[in-house]
Amino acid sequence: MDPTTGNYPKPPVPFIRGRVFPVRSHVTPPPTLVTRDCCRNFHHGREERAQLTPVARSLKHPPLPGDLGSDTLEFEILDPIRVGDGHNAQVFNVRISNTQPKSEIFQGRKELVAKVYDPLYLDDDDGFLNPFLCVDKHYTHEVHAYHVLSNLQGYLIPRFYGSYSLDIECEGADHRSDTRTVRLILIEPIPGVSMREADRSKIPQPERQQIIKSVIDFETEAYRRDIILTDLSPRNVMMVPPGLHPGGNLIFLDFGGAIFNRRLDEPVAAHLELFLGQYISPLIRWHGLLMLDFEEWVDWEWKPWVESEYAHTADTITPEMRAWYCP
């Protein structure tokens, strides 16, 4: 261990194939406020990082309380999806059992995906980020986004099967009688590969154009509901083989970075006219920066294509909207 950096060893990641965990339903608190430095680790936090082990810090900083529910279940870990140190969340396939009380929420489905917001294994950028504030933000924002987008579940986003709390027994001689608490969600598994993994060179241009249009349409619908999708990128868009999902060929994932009300929670932004709840045409929003994450999929002239695809929305644009989005 380097005492100046706090690089204490961490215990092995507990989310391994075959392990069974009991969880309890959890009513999530409201989304945390998002400001420019809301997840930053300041001097006191960096001092603590240098003095305490990761497990001791996790015990000192439990997740935001919310309310524990009365529903319980167990899940067995089947296969890892994204598990290990340095991830914002631990994600793996699970098999559900022993649901109490017997609930219709799972609709007979036994295999789901668990997404666990565990600060112990979050990459804190060498102490720049506060992992406990980060996971509180990711958890509360993701759950709230699933609620706001509820009628898109099972169609454009995964079906959401609830938020839960999990107590994990600590390892190590100093913490054998301790448990630490983490939060998680359960969602439906999505077959296929992400846009980042797909071989776009084998996809004809007209099909790629339809894919990009679907991305724009989803982002625009989320924005109409006053959500900014800060994590919208090819790695969070699943391409589903035809016929394997009722929602179609694209499913959108990962809403832990969602921003609500179209702005940060900064005092200076409180009185901005952001046309909340109104449709904002891609003609004035998808003119440049938003497409950068997807530019490797685009080998055509962008501006004329957007203008052609969304010409029918031109009459929704007011002079005030144009002044704000196209200064």
**φ, ψ for residue 166 (rounded to 5)?**
-130, 130
Given a cut of 50, is residue 99 above it in pLDDT? yes
Tens digits of residue pLDDT in 268-318: 888 888 999 999 999 999 987 889 999 999 999 999 999 999 999 999 999
Q: Which carries the bigger pLDDT value, residue 6 or residue 127?
A: 127
Q: In terms of Cα–Cα distance, which of 142, 148, 162 is closest to 253?
A: 142
**Per-domain residue ranges of the chain:** 20-187, 193-325
Is 115 a known ligand-binding residue? yes
**φ, ψ for residue 52 (rounded to 5)?**
-110, 150
The pLDDT of residue 292: 92
* Domain 20-187: top CATH class: alpha beta
Residues 6+ apart with CB under 8 A from 44: none
Query: Where are the extended beta strands (E) located within 118-221?
Result: 160-169, 179-187, 193-194
CB 215 within 8 A of CB 264: no
- The type of residue at 317 is I
Residue given tokens 């507990």 in the structure block: 14
Rounded distance between C-alpha atoms, residue 92 and residue 189, angstroms: 10
Rounded distance between C-alpha atoms, residue 195 and residue 193, angstroms: 7
The pLDDT of residue 3: 41
Rounded distance between C-alpha atoms, residue 299 and residue 219, angstroms: 21
Mean pLDDT of the chain: 93
Sign of the Cα pseudo-torsion (114, 139, 73, 56, in order): positive
CB 177 within 8 A of CB 169: no
Tens digits of residue pLDDT in 160-191: 999 999 999 997 656 667 999 999 999 999 99
The pLDDT of residue 2: 45
